Structure 1
């Protein structure tokens, strides 16, 4: 399998996550102020040379895609300069049914059609299946992918929140490679590291992360994308650290930012970028200043010692 840059040469090391665009999840419409906030965030991402935008059909109940579509409509010729990725398969609870996942052929295809309408574009560069459907029939998914590909509506496919056995099972039915897997990974969410460090140790049972998924993606050139990559600002001023480990990590991030003459956001993201798996952080802030601060991560190459210092601080105790 080939790396994501083979399919999309414009692929950036950072992805802008659009979950915060369009207003709140409990409002039916986007206000003028929320639209302006969204446009400013997109402007800031573009000014930071980010050209890869991550959506999902459910983000702010469709308003995130819709406001992004309005932005595209207002900027002629921009679409061809971007990589647009969206996700589908999470269905909210309604008066008749509980919340659920849906990999049925008809639902995947209809979800893509609706995303394209909201985004005001003819195609998605990448479609991800958002969370594993326990009633997945891989041949049915393959039929949906084949139809969308044949019609030119989706160029490539991937998944989100999949373990390696689920990836392998789905891949067995597909003629083309799944090119991405989006997972929760950050300096706060360490299970992707802890499960390996604590292999065959009793403490490892508390850090399940679908053992071997990171390595499977490395071996098969499946691009790892990290959602929640800044841990909602826990170590960079967006939230107040509470535990001793969080406080120590925030202090270390601040100290290293001074040492490397960069932003705290850049240090938090550089922790992910340093890993040999080639992790692609997804940043979700709508603050133009923080978006610019995140872009600085591309100029930071943490030393091995500083990387491990951050890891040990975040885990709250020395390595075994």
Structure 2
């Protein structure tokens, strides 16, 4: 399968990555069952066996349980650790952490970044995180303090490369100017139902700074996938999926594939080399998604889908 370098790093990722946020089927640790953990381990192994090399996680996914389940799967497959890119994120703090009156907040203090990294390493049972990302922008972020935390983590061998997620371009610049090492990825929501990054400067900046865009929710929470029967008509209309799906299906029929493959191929067409993060725990869909890497849409097909998403002509 074709690979892409993540930014200017030595990390080589398959054109699609695997996202771990749905691994155990819930965000509430109290609701996690042994069956849910088993399903999560199976999904990780299915993705690895299918050929995915980038596995994206975050410390907040089920309050760390998904990192634990990923780490368990890692130990079940001999040699897997040396063949995958382990990515995770930090910086989001829940209400009540660490005392009852504490508010929900984002925290890019050096102390918290370093502590969070160490907890993620323990949960996954590894010595090094290949790609560590700041999850959502802390409005009190001090770029120099972030740079200090990143430098300590790199010097100690706990992290190889760094990135950001859901940032505005100006904050990316501020962090990058302060950091002695390159930011190699920017993870943001991108899909046919979420076009902001095409016009807000995010993808332009990724190309200029040689950062790889990682697209979370590339199928708009499943609405653009092979099956979306549990999505309400109201939600489809609000997202534009009611306009997009008929065109997706028409292009998919002409190409002899599924709407999911076309929706992912649409992202892969962009010159910034977007890496969509696939989050299904269904083995068949995990494998099917990879077909997108072998399908090149024409410009006409790409713009036909764009116009369906916009719901109006180009300016």
* Same fold, TM-score > 0.5, yes or no: yes
Structure 1 residue 165 corresponds to structure 2 residue 170: yes
Which piece of structure 1 moves more, 309-318 or 119-128?
309-318
SS in 1 for 2:265: helix
Structure 1 residue 233 corresponds to structure 2 residue 226: no
Quote the residue 1:206 is aligned against.
none
- Asked whether the equivalents of residues 41 and 72 of structure 2 are also in contact (C-alpha less than 8 Å), the reply is no
2: distance between equivalents of 1:268 and 1:100?
Answer: 33
Give the counterpart of 1:24 among 7, 23, 26. Answer: 26
RMSD over equivalenced CA pairs, Å: 1.8
Quote the residue 1:72 is aligned against.
74
Unaligned runs of 5+ residues in structure 2 are none
Structure 1 residue 96 corresponds to structure 2 residue 96: no
Structure 1 residue 150 corresponds to structure 2 residue 169: no
1: distance between equivalents of 2:28 and 2:185?
Answer: 30
Give the counterpart of 2:211 among 222, 228, 235. Answer: 222
Structure 1 residue 4 corresponds to structure 2 residue 6: yes
User: Judging changes above 3 Å, is the alpha-carbon distance between structure 1 residues 63 and 29 closer, same or farther for their aligned structure 2 residues?
Assistant: farther
> How many correspondences in the alignment?
303
Quote the residue 1:257 is aligned against.
252
- Asked whether the equivalents of residues 3 and 221 of structure 1 are also in contact (C-alpha less than 8 Å), the reply is no
2: distance between equivalents of 1:223 and 1:178?
Answer: 9
- Asked whether the equivalents of residues 5 and 12 of structure 2 are also in contact (C-alpha less than 8 Å), the reply is no
- Could you list the per-position Cα deviations for residues 1-44 of structure 1 after superposition, in whole angstroms to 9, with x for gaps in the alignment? x9526523431111101001134222336322101211221122
1: distance between equivalents of 2:47 and 2:10?
Answer: 18
Quote the residue 2:302 is aligned against.
307
SS in 2 for 1:231: coil
1: distance between equivalents of 2:5 and 2:29?
Answer: 39
Shift of 1:174: 1.1
1: distance between equivalents of 2:106 and 2:297?
Answer: 39
Query: TM-score by structure 2 length?
Result: 0.91
Which piece of structure 1 moves more, 19-28 or 122-131?
19-28
Which piece of structure 1 moves more, 292-301 or 246-255?
246-255
Query: TM-score by structure 1 length?
Result: 0.90
Counterparts of 1:52-201 in structure 2 under 5 Å? 52-94=54-96, 95-193=100-198, 195=199
1: distance between equivalents of 2:95 and 2:9?
Answer: 36
- Could you list the per-position Cα deviations for residues 263-297 of structure 1 after superposition, in whole angstroms to 9, with x for gaps in the alignment? 22110011111111111111111111211121110
- Asked whether the equivalents of residues 7 and 184 of structure 2 are also in contact (C-alpha less than 8 Å), the reply is no
- Asked whether the equivalents of residues 8 and 184 of structure 2 are also in contact (C-alpha less than 8 Å), the reply is no
Unaligned runs of 5+ residues in structure 1 are 196-210
